Amino acid sequence: MGFENLLLGFQVALQPHNLLLAVIGVALGTIIGVLPGLGGANGVAILLPLTFSMPPTSAIILLTSIYWGALFGGAITSILFNIPGEPWSVATTFDGFPMARRGEGGPALTAAFTSSFVGALFSVILITLFAPILAEVALKFGPPEFFAIQLLTFSSFIGLGGGSPLKSLVSILIGFILASVGLDIVTGALRLTFGFTDLMKGFDFIVAVIGLFGIGEILLTMEEGLSFKGASAKMSPRVVWDTWHILPRYWRTFLRSCFIGFWMGFKPGGATPASFMSYAFAKRFSRHPERFGKGEIEGVVAPETAAHAAGGASLLPMITLGIPGSPTAAVMLGGLIIWGLQPGPMLFKEKPEFVWGLIASMYTGNVIGVIMVLAFVPAFAAILRVPFAILTPLIISICAVGAYSVNGRMLDIWYMLIFGVIGYAFKKLDYPLAPLVLALVLGDLAENALRQSLIISQGSLLIFFVRPISGAITAVALFFFALPVITPWWRRLRGVSVPDVSPRET
């Protein structure tokens, strides 16, 4: 890594209009994070059309800032209202809300925001150090290696993503089917159009994700009929300073949670399993495990640190390999393709100002984020006083405008609503959306890489095994595919009980 590259990135990220976009993004993201049912992936998907007229670097800074804001905002409702604004904030409610009810809402929020900042900073430093190295290695990749990487990504969702492997597989297959709709650019044949000429271009990715995430969540939130009754928190410089004075004694929890979060974010596990795992480890190694669940500040530090570390780490495979590590990163990946950029290692060579501007904006976005949430907690919490009867039509209108703006046609709004129903059904049936979105985004790229590889090998699948890099990656991918079968067998052999399916980020 050359510091000149990082300096170049800061020159981009610190430009006044990019700083302004970062502030706007963090504010919007925090509002999205505060509102239960939306979330980072949904917010980024809904607001993605706003970036179409922006330069790519400014656009990605806005989207990542929204993501950071959503990560910060999720903690506010968890602690003050016992309602997780985000899936990864569920573990924060265990001790955050008891602290708020005891009148310690201020320290709990300060601990949550500070932990989030530490976790994100840890991830960004590792991204700064390792992203160029990973990109250099990836430059040696050809079509077989890229297909092997994409195979590894899909297998990771099945083998390591948590939840039901069969449901992940079904979700991936549905995504591939949707991605294949339209004109085959190689043979010119129409696929799955059923005589409808409007389907010749296939489904637009943006319309699909707005429906799947935005409308799907709104339908689910309306069904649940949320009401908000929470505790209040008094924030002051004195409260922040006193909490910061306490937090260094939990340095082991910080460090452990950072590593857990980074690992879970790098693979497609996501922030939610990372937060639960980190909470469980913190309780396991605590001197006072009996205090957990009753308002222990360490129970706030652990999940928030891990969730933000995972959120940052999920962007590393996206910018180096073109492989997203989370649903939000998958949506951003779609944004890169729409802006005319090819995700992957060539970005470091062709668009250094974009890549390093993005990395530098992670530093600035987190600093802006922690300052804003500490300063404006009461304002963000007041959003929950707005009745959902007002918020819901507003959000649906934003979704509709976003979908219409993609091609300027009414048909996309109908597509959005259909995808919304699909998203709602997926959530009700506990099917993960992330693999579907990933297949929708990478379907064409994976198909092209597979076809190019088979053309090179004259139709032989051995090309994925005889080349050293693709052979090693394909072997790992096949191992991940087999992992759901191997793991229960291995546990029974060792006499260890088979655990329940772990929660996952959708």
Q: pLDDT band for position 506 (50/70/90)?
A: very low
CA distance 290 to 292: 6
Specify whether the CB–CB gap between 75 and 115 falls below 8 A: no
Specify whether the CB–CB gap between 465 and 474 falls below 8 A: yes
CA distance 71 to 85: 9
Q: Which residue has the higher pLDDT, 318 or 250?
A: 250
Q: pLDDT band for position 87 (50/70/90)?
A: low
273-277, 333-337, 384-388, 428-432: least confident range: 384-388
255, two tokens: 């460090």
3-state SS, residue 181: coil
Tell me the percentage of the chain whose pLDDT exceeds 70.
Answer: 86
Name every residue whose Cβ is closer than 8 Å to that of residue 440 and which is 6 or more positions away in sequence.
175, 178, 179, 203, 205, 208, 209
Does residue 474 have a pLDDT over 50?
yes
The most distant pair of C-alpha atoms in the chain lies apart, rounded to whole Å, by: 71
Specify whether the CB–CB gap between 369 and 114 falls below 8 A: no
pLDDT in tens, 28-58: 888 887 766 566 677 777 777 777 778 888 8
pLDDT score for 11: 85
290-294, 337-341, 358-362, 468-472: least confident range: 337-341
Looking at every residue in the chain, the average pLDDT score rounds to 79
pLDDT in tens, 154-171: 887 777 656 688 888 898
pLDDT score for 226: 60
Give the residue-averaged pLDDT of 307-335.
76
pTM of the model: 0.68
Q: Which residue has the higher pLDDT, 153 or 116?
A: 116
pLDDT in tens, 117-163: 898 889 888 888 877 777 777 667 778 887 887 787 788 777 765 66
pLDDT in tens, 52-79: 778 888 888 888 888 888 878 777 777 8
Closest of 259, 269, 301 to residue 282, by C-alpha:
301
Give the residue-averaged pLDDT of 250-264.
86
CA distance 219 to 234: 34
3-state SS, residue 249: helix
Does residue 383 have a pLDDT over 70?
no
pLDDT in tens, 392-425: 787 788 778 777 877 778 888 898 899 889 988 9
Does residue 185 have a pLDDT over 80?
no
pLDDT score for 143: 84
139-153, 273-287, 373-387: least confident range: 373-387
Q: pLDDT band for position 229 (50/70/90)?
A: low
Q: pLDDT band for position 227 (50/70/90)?
A: low
pLDDT score for 38: 63
pLDDT in tens, 325-376: 667 777 777 777 777 777 776 777 778 888 888 888 888 888 888 888 888 7
Tell me the percentage of the chain whose pLDDT exceeds 90.
Answer: 1
Burial string for 460-477 (b: 16+ CB within 10 Å, else e) reads eeebbbebebbbebbebb
Does residue 21 have a pLDDT over 70?
yes
CA distance 427 to 421: 10
Q: What separation, in Å, do the N-terminal and C-terminal C-alpha atoms of the chain show?
A: 34
